[in-house]
Amino acid sequence: MKHLVFDFDGTITTRDTTRLLIYELLRLRPLKSPLIAFILAKLLLNRSPESIQTSKNRCIGELIKGLPHEAVESSLMRFSNKVMLLFRPELVKIIEDNLSLGNEVILASASPAFALKYLFSGYDLTIIATEFSKCGVFFTGSTVNGSCFGKNKANAVREYLELNAGSGVIECAWSDSISDFPVMMMAETRIWYCSAVDESLIREADPEGCLVICS
């Protein structure tokens, strides 16, 4: 069995989908709009990848806090319908072909696990993503062990493989972001979906990686 790893936002999809999720959750809790606007406004002061991810998680956490999973399913359905239109067909085919061959496809993402599990409920994927904690059946709004991002993502994938596959070997991995460098370097073959702006940065960081330049 081969083990393949895919990032989600900007890799399987053509762009980041977090704003779509936040929008759909806001439709559920419109009174939280001022708080979400305040959290996002703080990004003007710090646009580092870590700060952006922290702000995304905080927005989502505030919007689901105190709700059971069933209460957000209507938002997840609308989110999924929009996101599926952003899938890269060639990557979906690779995923489907490898699943049919009995290979393991790991979706490793900083996105919320509850949203990805709903979106990919029709696929037999292993999902390693940002988990939001619950107290009983209700979301607390906090993440479990922080965000599945950067080194945290690599550590989570490595731990999963060592526990379930006996090794940390990944045959091939796909990503669009240099923040995934730690997990990408675990793979024998690395395929980067990147913009022309990021091409030189990724080529310098991973000269042996394969690049797909996206418009």
Q: What's the whole-model pTM score?
A: 0.95
pLDDT of residue 26: 97
Q: What is the pLDDT of residues 105-142, one digit of tens each?
A: 999 999 999 999 999 999 999 999 999 999 999 999 99
Angle (deg, nearest 10), helices 49-64 and 33-41: 170
Confidence of residue 19 (pLDDT cuts 50, 70, 90): very high
Closest CA to 104 of 206, 2, 204, 199: 2
- CA count, 13 A, side-chain hemisphere, 207: 1
Are 176 and 197 spatial neighbours (Cβ–Cβ below 8 Å)? no
Is the pLDDT assigned to residue 37 strictly greater than 80? yes
Strands 3-6 and 104-112: parallel
